[in-house]
Structure 1
Amino acid sequence: MSETTPYDADRARFPRQALARLVLCDHATDVADGAAGLVATGNDPDTGPGGRASQAFQLVELAERALASAVIYERERGSSWTDIAQYLGIGPAAAQERFAAALDDWNTAFEVPYRLDDTGRKRIPQLPTAAYDPVWACGRLDTWAANRLRVSRDERPVSSGLVQAVPEEELPSVTP
């Protein structure tokens, strides 16, 4: 049973491949921001014993989430399990098994966009936020990249490279 969402029209502007790429971009920013938090040393005295190890462990968790998003993106763009496994240093069957749950969740979220919370009253989106609301994600990610990726002269370093289902000239602006 499929339910409508407030962002269906926005999502329809993008093929699933582009939505998967937005999710990967979003998760990559989390990794980058997490890593940046480990660079500065000025607050080390304020961090309790084990605090930096905790931050590094969280970074590994964020990287694992980004990896799962990268695999979903690769599958959406047509990469085979053999192609993906080659870069992971494991066999195709092991790669498929490792990421099967994440891929199943991704596919199911397009069929069942919400689940009810424990009270049964609040609908919770099942798609990652960047895929659920891609226009918002494009604006946020373009701003993030423009502020941090000094080598890029593109005003929309994320959204300008996305494959879109609707031609660019027919789209309203997605800048924040």
Structure 2
Amino acid sequence: MTDTPDIPEPRVLSPRDEARVTFALEAERIGNEAFALLPIDPAAPHGDRLRRALALKAETDKLIGRAVIAEREEGATWTQIAEAAGTSKQAAHERWAGRVSAWAASGRTALPPDSRNTALGAARILDRVYAEHSHDNPAPDAVSSGLDAVRFPGAIAAEAARRERAAGLHARLSALHDQLSSLLEQHRLLSDGGARPQARAEVQARQSAVYAERAALYEELTAAEPELADEHRAEAETDRAFAADTREYAELLAAKSEDEAAKGSA
């Protein structure tokens, strides 16, 4: 490992490194589960081996999702991912884009914030695990040596600055999500209670404003997290469409309220 005494070891690595470590951790876990299938129990009930094999298959699906996330963080396009998966770009996007977006929203880290270990620490543990299993060609530091934090330690500060900017945007998005949930519940209660159109129109107008603000934040995220720009643009487009729809509905309700008021005064 490169000696860099003047550069403190990072608590959190770049999203690209974190995704790589996440994939490696999942691969190691599945490897252990597959190894556990080796013993043969002649007294096992019918279907036991099949159930265990199918359970392992479900776990490998998680590993595939982690692979897609790592590929996206490394700059692979959805076209390239589709080619590797032997499917169409649309099918690949529909299958895995949600996982990539969830990864982005959760902070793009391999371990939870309260973990005592770090991604770099986990990578070093995996180095030893790999060396123990690769007797013919025990590559030293097989996991950690491939991380940007080890290869390019001088980039740590820049990565931290990017992370801080993105974290601020995600925090604002989270607050808007809570605000939108509250507005949706308000509108439901008003509708169930037979509230006047004007009251519902006001809530819908506020919903439209929140959707528009979220769309703008997602556009900002395309610069803060360029590796996931496609996901953020898709979210922005969706929120812009919701903003337009709710605004139109609010205008219709407002017009209906005005008509009712005019009829009432006639």
TM-score w.r.t. the length of structure 2 is: 0.49
Residue pair 1:26, 1:130 contacting (<8 A) in 2 also: no
Residue pair 2:19, 2:110 contacting (<8 A) in 1 also: no
Which amino acid in structure 1 is aligned with residue 11 of structure 2? D
Q: Which residue of 1 aligns with 2:71?
A: 74
SS at 1:100's partner residue?
helix
Indicate whether 1:140 and 2:125 are aligned. yes
Indicate whether 1:10 and 2:11 are aligned. yes
Residue pair 2:110, 2:119 contacting (<8 A) in 1 also: no
Name the CA distance, whole Å, in 2 between partners of 1:46 and 1:157.
40
Please tell me whether Structure 1 or Structure 2 has the larger radius of gyration of its CA atoms.
Answer: 2
Indicate whether 1:129 and 2:111 are aligned. yes
Indicate whether 1:151 and 2:115 are aligned. no
Residue pair 2:16, 2:73 contacting (<8 A) in 1 also: yes
Give the superposition deviation at 1:30.
2.0
Which structure carries more helix by proportion?
Answer: 2
Percent of aligned positions that are identical: 27
In the alignment, which of 149, 152, 167 is matched to residue 164 of structure 1?
149
Deviations 1:51-97 (CA, angstroms, capped at 9, x unpaired): 21121011101110110000000000000001010111111111011
Q: Which residue of 2 aligns with 1:21?
A: 20
Give the superposition deviation at 1:46.
4.8
Q: Which residue of 2 aligns with 1:91?
A: 88
Q: Judging changes above 3 Å, is the alpha-carbon distance between structure 1 residues 161 and 108 closer, same or farther for their aligned structure 2 residues? A: same
Q: Judging changes above 3 Å, is the alpha-carbon distance between structure 1 residues 128 and 54 closer, same or farther for their aligned structure 2 residues? A: farther
Larger relative contact order (C-alpha < 8 A, sep ≥ 6)? 1
Give the superposition deviation at 1:35.
1.8
Q: Which residue of 1 aligns with 2:57?
A: 60
Name the CA distance, whole Å, in 1 between partners of 2:127 and 2:44.
32
Deviations 1:5-59 (CA, angstroms, capped at 9, x unpaired): xxxx411xx2111110101111111222222222232xx1353332211210111
Give the superposition deviation at 1:147.
1.1
Residue pair 1:22, 1:130 contacting (<8 A) in 2 also: no
Task: Kindly report the root-mean-square deviation, in angstroms, between the aligned alpha carbons of the 2 structures.
Answer: 2.6
Name the CA distance, whole Å, in 1 between partners of 2:18 and 2:141.
16
TM-score w.r.t. the length of structure 1 is: 0.71
Deviations 1:130-169 (CA, angstroms, capped at 9, x unpaired): 897303311221121111122333331111111217529x
